[in-house]
Structure 1
Amino acid sequence: MKKVVTLGEIMLRLSTPGYERFVQADQFDAIYGGGEANVAVSLANYGFDSCYVTKLPENEIGQAAVNALRRYGVNTSEIIRGGERIGIYFSETGASARPSKIIYDRANSAIAMAEVKDFDFDHIFEGTDWFHTSGITPAISKQGAEITKAAMVAAKKAGATVSIDLNYRKKLWTPQQAQQVMRELMEYVDVCIGNEEDASLCLGFTPQGLDVTQGQVDSAAYEIIFKQMREEFNFTHVVSSLRESYSASDNGWSAIIYDGNTFYQSKKYDLRIVDRVGGGDSFAAGLICGLLDGKTAEEALEFGVAASALKHTIKGDFNLVSRNEVENLVQGDASGRVQR
């Protein structure tokens, strides 16, 4: 069984019921999730030894987050306990022309205040085949950036493939801050995942002629910057999801990949969205699964896109689908007929 390690912040998500607005809600649904935790759950569902690394407070809320991961088979043995709080975010689900909204309450969370010395990365990465993290982790604090770099160095030392989902978050840092940190980290990255905004704000590569808010995607614009990114940072694969936002309820969803030889665009799915949180994470996990399985870049991309298309139909952060469900969609079974 191949081992995958992910590192990041799991948070408590407080969501308004249904499509209620924050000002309407008198109760919230409690859900646990976060970029790298979402990836860990998906990979555990696909049958990998999926190990999640973070720091959580030694209290009942921290334990509830651990339990949420254990429920789906994630290895939580390397989670460090301590610190004062878990990060929280409030989620309001949009509909039609009204966008979804996120409000963060994550300052001084346990992982944001953690230090490199809290983690025995040489031990954590023993026997690891793949390490995944995101641009959110180095954005949460100076210590978060230091921990991310230390983990990448240890992962490369252990011979693991390293992937990152750039995941720019404007509420956490500025483009200038992001580029100063993220460009340095790219030295250790093999597989770089990110959409057009991420590539521009985190690394300074901007495709021209795109307007995803109007549902317009030009894959040729990506091919140019993918080649530039690979030439500068020597990535094995450069990948981007392509979200065409027709409305908050309906999106077009596909992806592209470049491996130095082939530039490939996947099939596109037209989605009616139940919950888009975790959509990019489910894509990253599907791509990682495909590449670890030995699929070609094109096959791995199709698996990732199909996995993520299914995630958009599932409430919560985690993508609770099986390999068979993803493969069936890849093969073209999108009928939605009742399975008896």
Structure 2
Amino acid sequence: MGKIVTLGEIMLRLSTPGNTRFIQSDSFDVVYGGGEANVAISCANYGHDAYFVTKLPKHEIGQGAVNALRKYGVKTDYITRGGDRVGIYYLETGASMRPSKVIYDRAHSAIAEAEPEDFDFDAIMKNADWFHWSGITPAISDKAAELVRLACEAAKRQGVTVSVDLNFRKKLWTKEKAQSIMRPLMKYVDVCIGNEEDAELCLGFKPEADVTGGKTDAEGYKGIFMAMVKEFGFKYVASTLRESFSATHNGWKAMIYNGKDFYTSKHYDIDPIVDRVGGGDAFAGGIIHGLLTKATQGEALEFAVAASALKHTINGDFNLVSADEVEALAGGDASGRVQR
């Protein structure tokens, strides 16, 4: 297994119980989560040495975030302590035709105000096999965007494979700002992950897909995959293809392209969805594990899609499944029978 490094923000997640709305809830369920932290959890569950890099306050809420990572085997050696606050996001889980809703309270978090001298990226990347980041991190602040650039440069100096999950968040920045930051960072990236909206808003590539209408034709992605590889030199481009029939019923598959061949995964019908937050991160963690351990891109993709399908059945941000459980689903066991 490999040394995998991820960089980003872990936040306090405050969720309304069940499907209650913000305005009617008198309490919140509390967990921690965040894009790159979720990926680190997945990789640790699959047996890798997974390190999460961030900055967190020294107080108890910051320590709670560190403890949440350690609980699932993520290594926290490179977490810097300092700053004033942990970012927060509020989640209202939708149902049927009512979508889920997220409200951010993450301005001036410790990692958003971190300085380059808080991290020795050359030491962090030493002997690493993989470095992963997402478009959420440079979106939270210009300082965080600079940290991403420095981390990518260190990874490239040491021959580390770099992946990005584009992860456009319209509540954090505009498409113009996103493209001005993200496109220059693509020169460091080997594996690009992102859905149809991410590719358009972060990089300017638009697929022929009607997502809001519940239609995601894999053929519509081939042209932009080829254009992305041609422009940025990616070794792999991968995308999930979500069919959103309702907030609680989705179709789920994915496609990958290695500059020569396309592969489309099997399709999963996920109904009902327990919690879709972190589904894309589960896919990213699965792709990392798959490309490190599987013989073909097809096998890697099938592992990633199965892993992310399982995430939709688990409360919280983290995908708390083992490699064996993912392999069982990828191999065709979707019965849900009690394991005795």
TM-score bracket for this pair, using the shorter chain length: over 0.9
> Residue 83 of structure 2 aligns to a residue in which SS?
coil
Q: Provide the residue aligned with 2:8 in structure 1.
A: 8
> Residue 226 of structure 2 aligns to a residue in which SS?
helix
For the residues of structure 2 that align with 1:60 and 1:22, how far apart are their CA atoms? 26
Paired letter, 1:55:
K
Paired letter, 2:186:
M
Q: Provide the residue aligned with 2:248 in structure 1.
A: 249
CA offsets per residue over residues 215-238 of structure 1, 9 Å max, x none?
A: 111111100000000000000000
Mapping of residues 148-187 of structure 1, within 5 Å: 148-187=148-187
CA offsets per residue over residues 24-58 of structure 1, 9 Å max, x none?
A: 11000011000000000000000000000000011
Q: Does 1:234 align with 2:214?
A: no
For the residues of structure 2 that align with 1:69 and 1:134, how far apart are their CA atoms? 18
Number of aligned positions between the proteins: 339
Paired letter, 2:259:
G
CA offsets per residue over residues 43-87 of structure 1, 9 Å max, x none?
A: 000000000000001100000000000000000010000000000
Mapping of residues 48-127 of structure 1, within 5 Å: 48-127=48-127
Unmatched segments (≥5 aa) in structure 1: none
For the residues of structure 2 that align with 1:331 and 1:252, how far apart are their CA atoms? 18
CA offsets per residue over residues 134-193 of structure 1, 9 Å max, x none?
A: 000000000011000000000111111000000000011100000000000000000000
RMSD of the alignment, in Å? 0.6
For the residues of structure 1 that align with 2:217 and 2:290, how far apart are their CA atoms? 25
For the residues of structure 1 that align with 2:221 and 2:118, how far apart are their CA atoms? 39
Paired letter, 2:53:
V
Paired letter, 1:339:
Q
> Residue 23 of structure 1 aligns to a residue in which SS?
helix
Q: Provide the residue aligned with 2:257 in structure 1.
A: 258
TM (normalized to structure 2)?
0.99
Runs of 4+ aligned structure 1 residues displaced above 6 Å come to none
For the residues of structure 2 that align with 1:255 and 1:103, how far apart are their CA atoms? 28
Unmatched segments (≥5 aa) in structure 2: none
Q: Provide the residue aligned with 2:195 in structure 1.
A: 195
For the residues of structure 1 that align with 2:59 and 2:255, how far apart are their CA atoms? 42
Paired letter, 1:283:
F
For the residues of structure 2 that align with 1:91 and 1:170, how far apart are their CA atoms? 16
Paired letter, 2:181:
V
For the residues of structure 2 that align with 1:211 and 1:240, how far apart are their CA atoms? 15
For the residues of structure 2 that align with 1:294 and 1:183, how far apart are their CA atoms? 29
CA offsets per residue over residues 265-288 of structure 1, 9 Å max, x none?
A: 100100020000000000000011
- Once the 2 structures are TM-superposed, how far is the Cα of residue 261 of structure 1 from its aligned partner? 1.1
> Residue 44 of structure 1 aligns to a residue in which SS?
helix
For the residues of structure 2 that align with 1:115 and 1:178, how far apart are their CA atoms? 21
For the residues of structure 2 that align with 1:227 and 1:32, how far apart are their CA atoms? 37
Task: Select between 318-327 and 288-297 the one with higher mean Cα deviation.
Answer: 288-297
Paired letter, 2:231:
E
For the residues of structure 2 that align with 1:184 and 1:115, how far apart are their CA atoms? 21
- What percent identity do the matched residue pairs reach? 68
Q: Provide the residue aligned with 1:205 in structure 2.
A: 205
CA offsets per residue over residues 96-146 of structure 1, 9 Å max, x none?
A: 011000000000000000011110001101100000000000000000110
For the residues of structure 1 that align with 2:78 and 2:143, how far apart are their CA atoms? 18
For the residues of structure 1 that align with 2:202 and 2:263, how far apart are their CA atoms? 23
For the residues of structure 2 that align with 1:70 and 1:77, how far apart are their CA atoms? 10
Q: Provide the residue aligned with 1:332 in structure 2.
A: 332
> Residue 150 of structure 1 aligns to a residue in which SS?
helix
Paired letter, 1:227:
M
Paired letter, 2:46:
Y
For the residues of structure 2 that align with 1:309 and 1:283, how far apart are their CA atoms? 8
- Once the 2 structures are TM-superposed, how far is the Cα of residue 207 of structure 1 from its aligned partner? 1.0
For the residues of structure 2 that align with 1:10 and 1:160, how far apart are their CA atoms? 23
For the residues of structure 2 that align with 1:171 and 1:72, how far apart are their CA atoms? 30
> Residue 298 of structure 2 aligns to a residue in which SS?
helix
- Once the 2 structures are TM-superposed, how far is the Cα of residue 214 of structure 1 from its aligned partner? 1.6
- Once the 2 structures are TM-superposed, how far is the Cα of residue 294 of structure 1 from its aligned partner? 3.5
Q: Provide the residue aligned with 1:147 in structure 2.
A: 147
For the residues of structure 1 that align with 2:238 and 2:18, how far apart are their CA atoms? 33
- Once the 2 structures are TM-superposed, how far is the Cα of residue 295 of structure 1 from its aligned partner? 2.9
